[in-house]
Structure 1
Amino acid sequence: MAKIALVAADFGESKCLASISRELRQRRHETIEWFGYGNGLVPHPGLVESVTTNIDWLLLALSENNQEEAVLAQKAAAEKIPIAVYAPGKNTYRLRSAAPLRPLTNLLFGHAEELDATAILFVNAKVVPAGNILHEDFYSPYSRETARAKLKMSDGQNLIFVPGDKRRGINWPLFHSVIEAAHRPEVQTHKPMVAIGLHPGDPDPKESYGELARFRWPPVISWSPPFQLWPWPRFTSVGQ
């Protein structure tokens, strides 16, 4: 039985490593988890030591800046602890912020089409292919007809999906510009409905985007399950 520490800062990567951790525990390995879920790695007393000492492996997921990950990797390397990196996304291995991790990594889970290129940068690592675990349950079990019925979409109506960022400074102008574009006469002929996908790591509450609903047509949806249909001036739930 091995003792493995898993560390991820970003939301998607945290969910991936949480899934890996569950699988490892089912196989009777011991795991230590430190997941930021999009809010960064906030250290707690003793947590840094627990994921860098007296363990058999340190598994890191690459994030946007990798500053904390690099510090943890250096501490683990000083303790002679092997380091694995989870980076299955396309071009993830090329992140400049991951440069301090490259010589310290012993095992890297990468994109199947980029194994040779990844090995050039991570010179000391064994590079193996891995898929994105989130893709396993990404697709909805609903049929197209059922999904349209849940969204209360009429025949001939078209959906414009706008995925959001974690930052309000990006989301607000993005959402507004799409809604404005949907009001153009040439777009209105397609009976558009705008669906806004709030990022799970967005710190602002869903209600803070309520002003977007002042556009009565096309209707606006907040789609961060459970999603909401936002006819002005009140919100009406339409379910999962």
Structure 2
Amino acid sequence: MESAKSAQKSWAKTPLWKRAELLHKVAAILKEHKAPIAECLVKEIAKPAKDAVTEVVRSGDLVSYTAEEGVRILGQGKFLVSDSFPGNQRTKYCLSSKIPLGVVLAIPPFNYPVNLAVSKIAPALIAGNSLVLKPPTQGAVSCLHMVHCFHLAGFPKGLISCVTGKGSEIGDFLTMHPGVNCISFTGGDTGIAISKKAGMIPLQMELGGKDACIVLEDADLDLVAANIIKGGFSYR
């Protein structure tokens, strides 16, 4: 945590274009390493080889998308008209901008360990944060390979850390650590326990659920049925 805190301070001062440049670089490296990372996914969580490769490639695409959107969103300030509420006149000016939170703790699930880890890592980094990743027990090796790609891209030492272990053993230590400024979690009921222990810090939770599917009269029923089964039961 101390390494992440120290690295974040200098990273926050790194120009936005440089952060984006490094993210585009890691996106390319992820795709170059798709075979070994996909092999880990196959062996760790029994994901079909084709789906495993797709997950890694999608992760690279997501990193590039985050870099582009990050520059667009973070590069804009917001001007607020000062006389839009009582007690103020237009002689004052207000400009708001986004600042980093600090150290982000990311906890992805086992079903898409690489893709859902990247979806937390890339936004945190482009916004000027550092990140501590707690990968799932099943899928940890895949995440270690993925994090190595960030190191190969040239991200500063200590900016991205990966702490492996069972949630029952290290979960409370990480989620209750005073050095954590934000938690991004994807999973199930564990999110409720995290929210009770984390204290007054921002929480981003994607918890379990089954969504409805609306099938129209002109739908290809065979195609619909196959996709409903895949969407409802594959790696959930």
- Same-fold call, TM cutoff 0.5: no
More strand by share: 1
Normalised to the residue count of structure 1, the TM-score between the two structures is 0.29
More helix by share: 2
RCO greater where, 1 or 2, for CA within 8 Å and sep 6 or more?
A: 2
Query: Which entry has the higher C-alpha Rg, 1 or 2?
Result: 1
